[in-house]
Amino acid sequence: MSTPRPRLEIRFCPKCRWYTRATWLAQELFITYPDALLEIALVPADVGVFDVLADGEPIFSRATTGRFPEPKELKQALRDRFFPSRDLGHSGGPGSGTPLPSDME
C-alpha cells in the first residue's frame, strides 16, 4: 500500500493582505515534503480567515487559536497525520523555525 499524498488548502483573507504569509507557508511545506504532497492550493477566503486543511480536514485555524501557524507546527501536524515514520530533521527540534520575511513581521 502506498503512502497517501494529501491535498492541502491554505485559506486566507486577501483583503487582509495575507498573500505573502500563505505563499511562504506553502513554500515551507513543499521544501519539507517535496514529493509527498499532491498539491497545495491557495484559496481566497472571507475577511479574517487563515485556515490550513489537509484532505478537507482542518489542521489549523486562526479563528480557533487567535494566531497564525508556525511552519514547524504545520510540518509536525502533517507528519503525525500522514507520515508518522518520517524524520523532520531540523523542523523537529526546538528553535528550528524559519524566520519570517521582513514584510510579514
CATH of the domain at 18: 3.40.30.10
With 70 as the cut, is the pLDDT of residue 24 above it?
yes
Structural domain includes residue 75: yes
With 60 as the cut, is the pLDDT of residue 98 above it?
no
Structural domain includes residue 15: yes
Question: What does the pLDDT average to over 17-32?
Answer: 96
Q: Which domain, by its residues, includes 27?
A: 7-92
Query: Which ranges of 1-105 does DSSP label H, i.e. alpha helix?
Result: 19-32, 62-65, 71-82
Q: Share the mean pLDDT of the chain.
A: 86
Structural domain includes residue 1: no
Structural domain includes residue 104: no
What's the pTM?
A: 0.81
Strands 39-44 and 57-61: unpaired
Reported for 62-70, long-range contacts at CB under 8 A and 24+ positions apart, including other chains, are 68/21, 69/25, 70/97
Question: What does the pLDDT average to over 34-51?
Answer: 96
Number of domains making up the chain: 1
Give the Cα separation of 82 and 91 in Å (integer). Answer: 16
Question: What does the pLDDT average to over 76-93?
Answer: 79
